[in-house]
């Protein structure tokens, strides 16, 4: 059965001393709560992965990266491979975040390759999909999501599909304070699950955790996570405050 997951995406924030404080305070806070029914994941920038991975060894959380190279290893200046992530103890990796699609031209085909690299190293991909405001207002948002999913992840076998996590992050909700309503989010989550069911079968669809991201915070997380097809969250801004982040993780 699918897991509840709350992952914090720090994006390009915090200097090393603040990152050190933040991850240690997340670890301390987590000791005070029973989070047996949720996987908590901390996704710092690359330079802090070793720090987070070290702290997570004694903590009740997992380490995640925010990106990975689509290439294997070798002469690719500036890139970080899945094998490198694995050697640092990384368990999860975000792929295809809308900021990477928008600012770095990442395509669904790039994302498909990255997912393959991660699965080869037994790192769980958190594959992001989501529509822009224009796409939502034009009423074509489900078609946008369908294409992202079909081109980005449906090349996988049923066994590999069950090893992945999907995050629905409407672009218009990211960093804007305009959270999708629980009904809007549930509609898309149920749609994603129905796509997985059509392509594979219902057993596979029931195994895949689908997270919501976009201005998710300690106030709205409970309502969102109570929806049938919302299995947790991918948290940006609110993951930079340990108390808020833990409160979100305890919202099931
Ligand atoms: P915010 O929670 O800051 O809206 O960011 C969401 C996000 O992009 C997580 O990946």
248 within 8 A of 219, measured Cβ to Cβ: no
- Of the candidates 6, 4, 63, 59, the residue with the CA atom closest to the CA atom of residue 32: 59
170 within 8 A of 212, measured Cβ to Cβ: no
- Of the candidates 250, 182, 166, the residue with the CA atom closest to the CA atom of residue 215: 182
188 within 8 A of 145, measured Cβ to Cβ: yes
Alpha-carbon distances, residue 60 vs 180, 223, 236 (angstroms): 29, 24, 20
| Ligand 1 mutation target, pool 236, 238, 239, most atoms within 8 A of CB | 236
In the predicted model, what is the mean pLDDT of residues 136-155? 98
**pLDDT at position 140 over 90:** yes
* C-alpha to C-alpha distance for 48 and 90, rounded to whole angstroms: 11
**pLDDT at position 35 over 90:** no
pLDDT confidence of 8, banded at 50, 70, 90? very high
Q: Would residue 31 show up in a list of annotated catalytic residues for this protein?
A: no
Quote the pLDDT of residue 40: 98
* C-alpha to C-alpha distance for 24 and 28, rounded to whole angstroms: 6
What is residue 160's three-state secondary structure? helix
Q: Would residue 28 show up in a list of annotated catalytic residues for this protein?
A: no
169 within 8 A of 208, measured Cβ to Cβ: no
pLDDT confidence of 59, banded at 50, 70, 90? confident
Please state the pTM of the whole predicted model: 0.98
Q: Is 130 in the pocket of ligand 1 (CB under 6 A)?
A: no
51 within 8 A of 19, measured Cβ to Cβ: yes
Quote the pLDDT of residue 19: 98
In the predicted model, what is the mean pLDDT of residues 125-141? 97
225 within 8 A of 4, measured Cβ to Cβ: yes
Give the nearest ligand 1 atom to 94 CA: 10
Q: Is 215 in the pocket of ligand 1 (CB under 6 A)?
A: yes
In the predicted model, what is the mean pLDDT of residues 168-174? 97
Supply angle C-alpha 189, 70, 239, rounded to 5.
Answer: 50
- pLDDT tens track for 193-203: 999 999 999 99
In the predicted model, what is the mean pLDDT of residues 32-40? 92
**pLDDT at position 58 over 90:** no
Quote the pLDDT of residue 1: 83
pLDDT confidence of 38, banded at 50, 70, 90? very high
Q: Is 174 in the pocket of ligand 1 (CB under 6 A)?
A: yes
Mean pLDDT for all residues in the chain: 97
């Amino acid at each position: 059965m699918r897991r509840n997951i709350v992952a914090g995406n720090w994006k390009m924030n915090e200097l090393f001393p603040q990152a050190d404080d933040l991850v240690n305070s997340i670890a301390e806070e987590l000791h005070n709560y029973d989070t047996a029914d949720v996987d908590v994941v901390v996704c710092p920038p690359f330079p802090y992965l070793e720090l987070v991975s070290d702290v997570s060894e004694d903590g009740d959380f997992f380490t995640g990266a925010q990106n990975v190279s689509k290439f294997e290893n070798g002469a690719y200046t500036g890139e970080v491979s899945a094998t490198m992530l694995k050697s640092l103890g990384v368990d999860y990796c975000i792929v295809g975040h809308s900021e990477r699609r928008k600012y770095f031209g990442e395509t669904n085909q790039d994302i498909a390759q990255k997912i393959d690299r991660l699965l080869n190293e037994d790192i769980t991909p958190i594959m992001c999909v989501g529509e822009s405001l224009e796409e939502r207002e034009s009423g074509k948002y489900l078609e946008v999501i369908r294409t992202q999913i079909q081109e980005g992840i449906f090349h996988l076998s049923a066994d590999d599909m069950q090893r992945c996590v999907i995050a629905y992050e409407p672009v218009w909700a990211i960093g804007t304070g305009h959270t999708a309503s629980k009904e809007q989010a549930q509609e898309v989550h149920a749609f994603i699950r129905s796509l997985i069911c059509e392509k594979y079968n219902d057993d596979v669809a029931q195994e895949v955790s689908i997270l919501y991201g976009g201005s998710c915070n300690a106030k709205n997380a409970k309502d969102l996570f109570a929806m049938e097809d919302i299995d947790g969250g991918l948290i940006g801004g609110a993951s930079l405050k340990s108390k808020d982040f833990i409160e979100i993780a305890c919202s099931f």
